[in-house]
């Protein structure tokens, strides 16, 4: 039995620190709900479903980028950080959403993309027009090519989406010009964070959204912003330390400065980092020092196989990692970049990493669904905050068979289809009815959904699940409601209880217990405990395989 203790905190200083316990729902605006009938989700659609969000029982929503963008990477290529893309609506609608959501107790987190902007951003357009020696080029990473005529990229860096990380430009007179760096798609030129103008601009963008009521920001690719200014070649299989563009020490100055801005608001705003550093947990924790980010996604949990020992380790390590810096752990099962949970858990190999997506692995969706039900109860019982990606509450599966001509993700195109990319987890949500678009768009909409929905999603609609108390949707609602009313859940400590090796059982403050059976056999529930919620049917006093339960312990059983 182990006691995993969060550090002591002075209650008063934690008041208002909602991010320590929040259950946060991720809205991928293109795919949530289409209000204007063009086949793409928008703010009108989200506002029309505010009661759905409120009934779900979440504390906050995180919006993927909604800014003006040519959509080379579904909005992660931002042309104007202060404008809403007309595809999604207007700034007035975003402000109205933030206000209306506050009225029903839901906070809003917006996505800030600092590593790169769009090639349609005014700075980049100006830099292209201004030609090689112009000062404005210093806002990006423009360099001459190698080779006799500059025909080779300036170095050997690869794009995270595949292919080279450099694209050659044309000079204003039409001749071949310099190259620019893009760690992602060519439409996403990397910004030069050594340049003070870049820093000032983003600090102003933060204030812009905080002034409009945003309660926090999710920081995209937070560890990538700073680069080795020598831009030296390196061997990706054996990168030097420090890495030329990942997790460089200088990046922390950026977030120390952002923290001052976040803390300057009467109700401090939360900074949430997307920091993928699976090999370097101690470096990950540096981002969460008291004067930097408030939380960061724990991707180890998201990639962990369905295995009790592995889960226990990820949970213990996650808590231990956060404790010295006093930050709350943040648990996440899924997002818009990864394979849907029911598909992953239905596979023989249930791991996920950015390099290990297994597009061709078969999945037993009934098994995956059973495990996903248990997993969300685990997620919501752990100490700290929890993130849920839209559609997980409907038990949607990863759609593998999207025709190539309908795919949108640059990852698919930049790898020539070797990597199917992320479209399969971004399919528009099914709301109602028996036929596509399943209420995603209004009746008689002109546009088909931007990615095709499978015909059998008639079985997954909100309408259908609402009418079925055993649905995934009701499990989410019941669990979220219980989470709010259980004083022991959210931030705090947990204590492992003695069990067999393939069972996870832990107590939270008070008399609350979460138990998950990952073994192949039913196991006994603790004597005298009262069942609060179960992810599947119980067999008398026994908990079946791949099932989770929340219990109230009797005084005598402690
Ligand atoms: C992050 C986002 C991902 C995007 C990338 C580039 O990883 O989550 O969707 O493609 O950054 O902005």
d(CA 222, CA 213): 22
Task: Judge whether 496 and 382 are in contact, CB under 8 Å.
Answer: no
| 64 and 147 assigned to the same domain | no
Q: 354-400, pLDDT tens digit by residue?
A: 888 999 899 999 999 999 999 999 999 999 999 999 999 999 999 99
Task: Judge whether 179 and 65 are in contact, CB under 8 Å.
Answer: no
| 212 and 163 assigned to the same domain | no
Tell how far the Cα of 6 is from the centroid of ligand 1, in angstroms.
31
Closest of 36, 521, 88, 301 to residue 97, by C-alpha: 88
The half-sphere exposure of 326 on its side-chain side, counting CA atoms within 13 A, is 10
CATH number at 546 reads 2.60.40.1180
Q: Is 183 in the pocket of ligand 1 (CB under 6 A)?
A: no
User: Domain boundary at 133, 156, 181, which?
Assistant: 181
The overall pTM is greater than 0.75: yes
For residue 488 the two structure tokens come to: 């022991």
Residue 98: other Cβ atoms inside 10 A: 20
Q: Is 184 in the pocket of ligand 1 (CB under 6 A)?
A: yes
The confidence score (pLDDT) of residue 554 equals: 80
Does the pLDDT of residue 10 top 50, yes or no? no
Q: Is residue 473 part of a domain?
A: no
Domain ranges, residue 509 = 497-557
Which ligand 1 atom is the nearest neighbour of the CA of 161? 10
Does the pLDDT of residue 73 top 70, yes or no? yes
The confidence score (pLDDT) of residue 116 equals: 98
Does the pLDDT of residue 8 top 60, yes or no? no
Task: Judge whether 377 and 357 are in contact, CB under 8 Å.
Answer: no
The confidence score (pLDDT) of residue 279 equals: 84
**What percentage of the chain exceeds 90 in pLDDT?**
93
| 202 and 253 assigned to the same domain | yes
Q: What pairing do the DSSP bridges indicate for beta strands 270-273 and 295-296?
A: parallel
Q: Is residue 415 part of a domain?
A: yes
Q: Is 409 in the pocket of ligand 1 (CB under 6 A)?
A: no
Q: 12-22, pLDDT tens digit by residue?
A: 355 589 999 99
For residue 291 the two structure tokens come to: 């004067």
- Give the residue numbers marked as catalytic: 220, 274
Beta bridge partners of 167: 180
Closest of 514, 502, 403, 409 to residue 454, by C-alpha: 403
| 363 and 391 assigned to the same domain | yes
The residue whose CA is least distant from atom 2 of ligand 1 is: 220
The residue whose CA is least distant from atom 9 of ligand 1 is: 337
Q: Is 113 in the pocket of ligand 1 (CB under 6 A)?
A: yes
Q: Is 220 in the pocket of ligand 1 (CB under 6 A)?
A: yes
Tell how far the Cα of 74 is from the centroid of ligand 1, in angstroms.
9
User: Domain boundary at 466, 485, 512, which?
Assistant: 466
Q: Is residue 486 part of a domain?
A: no
| 74 and 203 assigned to the same domain | yes
| 263 and 339 assigned to the same domain | yes
d(CA 480, CA 127): 49
Largest CA distance in the chain: 84
Q: Is residue 506 part of a domain?
A: yes
The residue whose CA is least distant from atom 12 of ligand 1 is: 76
341 contact partners, CB below 8 Å, separation of at least 6: 333, 334, 368, 372, 375, 392
| 251 and 340 assigned to the same domain | yes
The residue whose CA is least distant from atom 6 of ligand 1 is: 76
Which ligand 1 atom is the nearest neighbour of the CA of 113? 12
| 445 and 501 assigned to the same domain | no
For residue 65 the two structure tokens come to: 């980028």
Closest of 156, 116, 152, 352 to residue 240, by C-alpha: 156
Does the pLDDT of residue 333 top 60, yes or no? yes
Average pLDDT over residues 84-106: 98
CATH number at 139 reads 3.90.400.10
User: Tokens 């830099």 — which residue?
Assistant: 127
Cα of 350 vs its chain's centroid, Å: 19
Q: Is 337 in the pocket of ligand 1 (CB under 6 A)?
A: yes
Q: What pairing do the DSSP bridges indicate for beta strands 216-219 and 107-112?
A: parallel
Q: Is 76 in the pocket of ligand 1 (CB under 6 A)?
A: yes
Where residue 77 falls (left for φ over 0; alpha for ψ -120 to 50; beta otherwise) is: beta
Task: Judge whether 378 and 506 are in contact, CB under 8 Å.
Answer: no
For a ligand 1 pocket test, name from 29, 160, 184, 273 the mutation site with the most ligand atoms within 8 angstroms of its C-beta: 184
Which ligand 1 atom is the nearest neighbour of the CA of 337? 9
Local structure of 513: helix, strand or coil: strand
Q: Is 73 in the pocket of ligand 1 (CB under 6 A)?
A: yes
| 297 and 366 assigned to the same domain | yes
Q: Is residue 483 part of a domain?
A: no
Tell how far the Cα of 546 is from the centroid of ligand 1, in angstroms.
32
Q: Is 221 in the pocket of ligand 1 (CB under 6 A)?
A: yes
Task: Judge whether 82 and 121 are in contact, CB under 8 Å.
Answer: no
Tell how far the Cα of 161 is from the centroid of ligand 1, in angstroms.
10
Task: Judge whether 164 and 154 are in contact, CB under 8 Å.
Answer: no
| 127 and 96 assigned to the same domain | no
Sign of CA dihedral 270, 274, 279, 283: negative
d(CA 437, CA 458): 9
| 207 and 226 assigned to the same domain | yes
Tell how far the Cα of 76 is from the centroid of ligand 1, in angstroms.
6
Q: What angle do CA 386, 498, 491 make, to 5 degrees?
A: 25
Of 125-129, 339-343, 443-447, the range with the lowest mean pLDDT is 443-447
501 contact partners, CB below 8 Å, separation of at least 6: 308, 309
Q: Mapped to the 3 state alphabet, what secondary structure does 179-220 carry? A: EEECCCCCCCCEECCCCHHHHHHHHHHHHHHHHCCCCEEEEC
Sign of CA dihedral 342, 388, 13, 273: positive
- pLDDT-derived band at 556, boundaries 50, 70, 90: low
Residue 105: other Cβ atoms inside 10 A: 12
Tell how far the Cα of 221 is from the centroid of ligand 1, in angstroms.
7
Does the pLDDT of residue 5 top 70, yes or no? no
For the chain, give the mean pLDDT.
95
Task: Judge whether 155 and 144 are in contact, CB under 8 Å.
Answer: no
The confidence score (pLDDT) of residue 537 equals: 96
Which one is predicted more confidently, 13 or 412? 412
The residue whose CA is least distant from atom 7 of ligand 1 is: 221
| 412 and 547 assigned to the same domain | no
Helix (H) or strand (E) holding 46: helix 43-48
Q: 156-202, pLDDT tens digit by residue?
A: 999 999 999 999 999 989 999 999 999 999 999 999 999 999 999 99
User: Domain boundary at 156, 181, 206, which?
Assistant: 181
Q: 422-449, pLDDT tens digit by residue?
A: 999 999 999 999 999 999 999 999 999 9
Q: 281-303, pLDDT tens digit by residue?
A: 999 999 999 999 999 999 999 99
Q: Is residue 153 part of a domain?
A: yes
The confidence score (pLDDT) of residue 4 equals: 45
Tell how far the Cα of 173 is from the centroid of ligand 1, in angstroms.
34
Closest of 386, 426, 102 to residue 272, by C-alpha: 386
Where residue 200 falls (left for φ over 0; alpha for ψ -120 to 50; beta otherwise) is: alpha
d(CA 90, CA 501): 53
For a ligand 1 pocket test, name from 64, 117, 188, 221 the mutation site with the most ligand atoms within 8 angstroms of its C-beta: 221
Q: Is residue 528 part of a domain?
A: yes
The confidence score (pLDDT) of residue 132 equals: 92
For residue 106, give Cα distances in angstroms to 8, 52, 59: 28, 12, 5
Which ligand 1 atom is the nearest neighbour of the CA of 335? 8
For a ligand 1 pocket test, name from 28, 64, 73, 121 the mutation site with the most ligand atoms within 8 angstroms of its C-beta: 73
The confidence score (pLDDT) of residue 510 equals: 80
Q: Is residue 489 part of a domain?
A: no
Residue 22: other Cβ atoms inside 10 A: 26
Give the chain's domain count. Answer: 3
Tell how far the Cα of 485 is from the centroid of ligand 1, in angstroms.
35
For residue 221 the two structure tokens come to: 């690719």
The confidence score (pLDDT) of residue 172 equals: 87
């Amino acid at each position: 039995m182990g006691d995993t203790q969060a550090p002591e905190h002075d209650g008063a200083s934690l008041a208002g620190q909602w991010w320590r316990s929040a259950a946060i729902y991720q809205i991928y605006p293109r795919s949530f709900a289409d209000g204007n009938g063009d086949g793409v989700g928008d703010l009108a659609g989200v506002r029309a479903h505010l009661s759905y969000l409120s009934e779900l029982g979440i504390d906050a929503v995180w919006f993927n980028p909604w800014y003006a963008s040519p959509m080379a990477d579904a909005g992660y290529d931002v042309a104007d950080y202060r404008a809403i893309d007309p595809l999604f609506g207007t700034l007035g609608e975003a402000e109205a959403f933030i206000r209306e959501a506050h009225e029903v107790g839901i906070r809003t987190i917006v996505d800030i993309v600092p590593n790169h902007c769009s090639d349609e951003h005014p700075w980049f357009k100006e830099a292209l027009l201004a030609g090689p020696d112009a000062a404005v080029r210093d806002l990006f990473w423009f360099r001459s090519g190698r080779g006799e005529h500059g025909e080779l990229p300036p170095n050997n860096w690869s794009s995270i989406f595949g292919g080279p990380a450099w694209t050659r430009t044309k000079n204003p007179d039409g001749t071949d010009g310099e190259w620019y760096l893009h760690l992602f798609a060519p439409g996403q030129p990397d910004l030069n964070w050594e340049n003070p103008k870049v820093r000032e601009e983003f600090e102003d963008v933060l204030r812009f959204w905080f002034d409009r009521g945003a309660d926090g920001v999710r920081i995209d690719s937070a560890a990538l912003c700073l680069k080795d200014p020598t831009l030296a070649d390196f061997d990706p299989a054996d990168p030097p330390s420090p890495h030329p563009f990942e997790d460089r020490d200088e990046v922390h100055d950026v977030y120390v400065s952002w923290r001052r801005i976040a803390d300057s608001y009467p109700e401090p705003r939360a900074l949430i980092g997307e920091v993928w550093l699976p090999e370097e947990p101690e470096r990950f924790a540096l981002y969460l020092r008291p004067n930097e980010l408030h939380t960061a996604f724990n991707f180890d949990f998201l990639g962990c196989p369905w295995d009790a020992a592995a889960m226990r380790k990820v949970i213990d390590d996650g808590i231990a990692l956060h404790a010295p810096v006093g930050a709350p752990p943040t648990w996440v099962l899924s997002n818009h970049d990864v394979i849907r949970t029911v598909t992953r858990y239905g596979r023989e190999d249930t791991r996920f990493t950015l390099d290990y997506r297994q597009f061709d692995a078969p999945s037993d969706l009934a098994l995956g669904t059973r495990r996903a039900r248990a997993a969300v109860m685990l997620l919501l019982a752990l100490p700290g905050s929890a993130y849920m990606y839209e559609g997980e509450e409907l038990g949607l599966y990863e759609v593998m068979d999207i025709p190539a001509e309908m795919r949108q993700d640059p990852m698919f195109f930049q790898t020539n289809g070797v990597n199917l990319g992320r479209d399969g987890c971004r399919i528009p949500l099914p709301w109602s009815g028996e036929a596509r678009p399943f209420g995603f768009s209004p009746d008689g909409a002109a546009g088909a959904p931007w990615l095709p929905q499978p015909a059998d999603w008639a079985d997954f609609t909100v309408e259908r699940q609402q009418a079925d108390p055993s649905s995934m949707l009701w499990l989410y609602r019941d669990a979220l409601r219980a989470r709010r009313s259980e004083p022991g859940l959210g931030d705090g400590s947990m204590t492992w209880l003695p069990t067999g090796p393939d069972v996870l059982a832990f107590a939270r403050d008070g008399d609350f217990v979460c138990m998950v059976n990952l073994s192949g056999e039913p196991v006994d529930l603790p004597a005298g405990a009262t069942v609060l919620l179960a992810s599947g049917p119980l067999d008398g006093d026994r908990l079946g395989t791949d099932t989770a339960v929340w219990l109230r312990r009797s005084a005598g059983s402690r």
